[in-house]
Chain A
Amino acid sequence: MHDMITLRDLQVQFFAPKKLIRAVNGVNLAVAQGEVVALIGESGSGKSVTLRSIMRLHSERSTRISGGLDVDGKDVLKMSQRELAALRGDTVAMIFQEPLLALDPVYTVGAQIVEAIRRHKKVSKAEAHKQALSLFEKVRIPSPERRLDAYPHEMSGGMRQRAMIALALSCSPKVLLADEPTTALDATVQIQILLLLRDLQKELGLSIVFVTHDIGAAAEVADRIAVMYAGKIIEQGPAAELLTRPRHPYTLSLLKSRSHGAMQKGQRLETIGGAPPDLSNLPAGCAFAERCKYAVAECSSVQPRDEVLSPGHVVSCLRVHQIVQVNEVTAATN
Chain B
Amino acid sequence: MTDQRDIGGPRQPLLQVRDLLKHFPLKGKGLPFASPRSAVRAVDGVNFDILKGETLGVVGESGCGKSTTARVLMQLINQDSGELVFDGETVGSRALPLRQFRRQTQMVFQDSYSSLNPRMTIEDSIAFAPTVHGLPSREAITRARDLLARVGLQPERFAGRYPHELSGGQRQRVNIARALALAPRLVILDEAVSALDKSVEAQVLNLLLDLKQEFGLTYLFISHDLNVVRFISDRVLVMYLGQVVEIGSSDQVFDQPRHPYTRALLKSMPSMDPLQRTMEAPLAGDPPNPINPPSGCRFHTRCAYVQPVCSQRAPVFATDDSGHGVACLRYEADTASLFSTAGEVSHA
Find A334's partner among B267, B274, B287 (CB 8 Å cutoff). B267
Query: Is B287 touching A194 in the complex (CB atoms < 8 A)?
Result: no
Chain B residue contacts of A257, Cβ below 8 A:
198-199, 202
Of residues 190 through 216 on chain A, the ones whose CB sits less than 8 Å from some CB of chain B are: 190-192, 194-195, 198, 213-216
Chain B residue contacts of A158, Cβ below 8 A:
285-286
Determine whether A272 belongs to the interface, using a CB cutoff of 8 Å to chain B: yes
Query: Is A269 touching B205 in the complex (CB atoms < 8 A)?
Result: yes
Binds A, one of B119-127, B180-188, B223-231, B315-323: B223-231
Determine whether A314 belongs to the interface, using a CB cutoff of 8 Å to chain B: no
Q: How many of chain A's residues have a CB under 8 angstroms from any CB in B?
A: 46
Of residues 295 through 339 on chain B, the ones whose CB sits less than 8 Å from some CB of chain A are: none
Determine whether A62 belongs to the interface, using a CB cutoff of 8 Å to chain B: no
Chain B residue contacts of A177, Cβ below 8 A:
none
CB distance from B149 to the nearest CB of A (A): 18
Chain B residue contacts of A79, Cβ below 8 A:
none
Query: Is A331 touching B276 in the complex (CB atoms < 8 A)?
Result: yes
Query: Is B198 touching A187 in the complex (CB atoms < 8 A)?
Result: no
Binds B, one of A19-27, A99-107, A258-266: A258-266
Chain B residue contacts of A198, Cβ below 8 A:
277
Of residues 166 through 183 on chain B, the ones whose CB sits less than 8 Å from some CB of chain A are: 167-169
Determine whether B273 belongs to the interface, using a CB cutoff of 8 Å to chain A: yes
Q: How far is the CA of A214 from the CA of B265 in the complex (A)?
A: 17
Q: How far is the CA of A332 from the CA of B271 in the complex (A)?
A: 7
Q: How far is the CA of A139 from the CA of B36 in the complex (A)?
A: 37
Query: Is B199 touching A331 in the complex (CB atoms < 8 A)?
Result: no
Q: Mark A231-265, 1 if CB is under 8 A from B, else 0.
A: 00000000110010000000001100111100101
Of residues 127 through 177 on chain A, the ones whose CB sits less than 8 Å from some CB of chain B are: 142, 156-159
For B64, give the chain A residue with the smallest CB separation: A186
Query: Is B287 touching A186 in the complex (CB atoms < 8 A)?
Result: yes
For A250, give the chain B residue with the smallest CB separation: B199
Determine whether A188 belongs to the interface, using a CB cutoff of 8 Å to chain B: yes
Query: Is A217 touching B270 in the complex (CB atoms < 8 A)?
Result: yes
Query: Is A187 touching B228 in the complex (CB atoms < 8 A)?
Result: no
Query: Is B281 touching A192 in the complex (CB atoms < 8 A)?
Result: yes
Query: Is A240 touching B224 in the complex (CB atoms < 8 A)?
Result: no
CB distance from B265 to the nearest CB of A (A): 6
For A274, give the chain B residue with the smallest CB separation: B199
Query: Is A219 touching B206 in the complex (CB atoms < 8 A)?
Result: no
CB distance from B227 to the nearest CB of A (A): 3
Chain A residue contacts of B203, Cβ below 8 A:
271
Chain B residue contacts of A159, Cβ below 8 A:
286
For A214, give the chain B residue with the smallest CB separation: B270
Query: Is A333 touching B271 in the complex (CB atoms < 8 A)?
Result: yes
Contacts A263-B227, A272-B199 hold; do A222 and B274 have CB atoms under 8 A apart?
yes
For B281, give the chain A residue with the smallest CB separation: A192
Query: Is B265 touching A43 in the complex (CB atoms < 8 A)?
Result: no
Q: How many of chain B's residues have a CB under 8 angstroms from any CB in A?
A: 48
Query: Is B278 touching A195 in the complex (CB atoms < 8 A)?
Result: yes
Query: Is B198 touching A254 in the complex (CB atoms < 8 A)?
Result: yes
Query: Is A258 touching B286 in the complex (CB atoms < 8 A)?
Result: no
Among A195, A265, A334, chain B packs the most CB atoms within 10 A around the CB of A334
Contacts A186-B61, A188-B265, A275-B167 hold; do A194 and B272 have CB atoms under 8 A apart?
no
Q: How far is the CA of A30 from the CA of B16 in the complex (A)?
A: 57
Find A188's partner among B209, B268, B275 (CB 8 Å cutoff). B268
Contacts A195-B280, A219-B274, A333-B276 hold; do A263 and B206 have CB atoms under 8 A apart?
no
Determine whether B216 belongs to the interface, using a CB cutoff of 8 Å to chain A: no
Q: How far is the CA of A188 from the CA of B283 in the complex (A)?
A: 6
Query: Is A334 touching B167 in the complex (CB atoms < 8 A)?
Result: no
Chain B residue contacts of A321, Cβ below 8 A:
none
Query: Is B268 touching A190 in the complex (CB atoms < 8 A)?
Result: yes
Q: How far is the CA of A263 from the CA of B210 in the complex (A)?
A: 16
Chain A residue contacts of B200, Cβ below 8 A:
42
CB distance from B287 to the nearest CB of A (A): 6
Contacts A269-B206, A270-B202, A331-B276 hold; do A187 and B197 have CB atoms under 8 A apart?
no
Q: How far is the CA of A43 from the CA of B195 in the complex (A)?
A: 11
CB distance from A137 to the nearest CB of B (A): 15
Chain B residue contacts of A272, Cβ below 8 A:
199
Query: Is A219 touching B272 in the complex (CB atoms < 8 A)?
Result: yes
Query: Is B286 touching A157 in the complex (CB atoms < 8 A)?
Result: yes
Determine whether A328 belongs to the interface, using a CB cutoff of 8 Å to chain B: no
Query: Is B281 touching A191 in the complex (CB atoms < 8 A)?
Result: yes
Interface residues, chain B, with chain A CB atoms under 8 Å away: 61-62, 167-169, 197-200, 202-203, 205-206, 209-210, 224, 226-228, 230-231, 250, 264-287, 289, 347
Q: Would you mind naming 18 contact pairs between A and B with Cβ atoms under 8 Å apart?
A: A188-B264, A188-B265, A188-B268, A191-B278, A191-B282, A195-B280, A213-B197, A214-B270, A216-B271, A216-B272, A220-B270, A243-B272, A258-B198, A258-B227, A269-B205, A272-B199, A275-B167, A332-B272
